[in-house]
Homo-oligomer: A and B are copies of this chain.
Amino acid sequence: MATDTSSPRPPLPDGLTQTEFQAFGGLLRLHSTLVKQLDADLIAAHGLPLSSFEVLLMLANSPQGGLRMSDLAQRAFLSPSGMTRLVQRLAGQGLIEQRACDDDGRGSFAVMTPAGRERFEQAATTHYQHIRDRFLCFFSEDELRQMGDFFGRLSATGGDC
């Protein structure tokens, strides 16, 4: 498909300018394409979907050696019930375990099993290589910093300009 390079910046039929549309539409396209690729890569190489990997990553990086369900859910951008089900799947595979919270009887604490840690460590290296090959490699160090600044800008405020 040949990209249209004709007009500089007229309001498109969309109601967004070409620049606006390329920024917003580009975000949707990039995310969709990239996440599908990385997910497929990770499943092919280690039988581990991206969502599962991210849970293992959070647990691996946790100083406690584990995290509460609500923390996991927030950090993975999942609903509480969504995280409950994801954790149940991972527990079924023997990769993590759930314990009660010491200090809070309501809480549930997820920790990696040795099998989970091993699986994570195997997956991590190749996964980061995939992220580089499919995404990071297209940009210079400065550009990555710039992009990080862009993405961080929205979460800095509560969501208002």
Contacts and interface: CB of A to CB of B under 8 A. Distances in A.
Interface stretch (A30-38, A88-96, A104-112): A30-38
B159 A29 contact: no
Given A30-B27, A31-B27, A153 B136 contact: no
A22 interface: yes
A73 interface: no
Copies held by the complex: 2
Contacts of A159: 37, 134
Contact of A15 (B28, B34, B128, B143): B128
Contacts of A124: 14-15
Where chain A touches its partner, the secondary structure class is helix
A141 B19 CA distance: 8
Most buried by B among A14, A26, A145: A26
Contacts of A161: 133, 137-138
Given A20-B132, A23-B148, A147-B150, 11 more contacts: A14-B124, A14-B128, A15-B125, A24-B131, A27-B30, A27-B147, A33-B154, A134-B154, A138-B153, A138-B161, A146-B146
A112 to B, nearest CB: 14
Given A24-B135, A135-B154, A159-B134, A19 B148 contact: yes
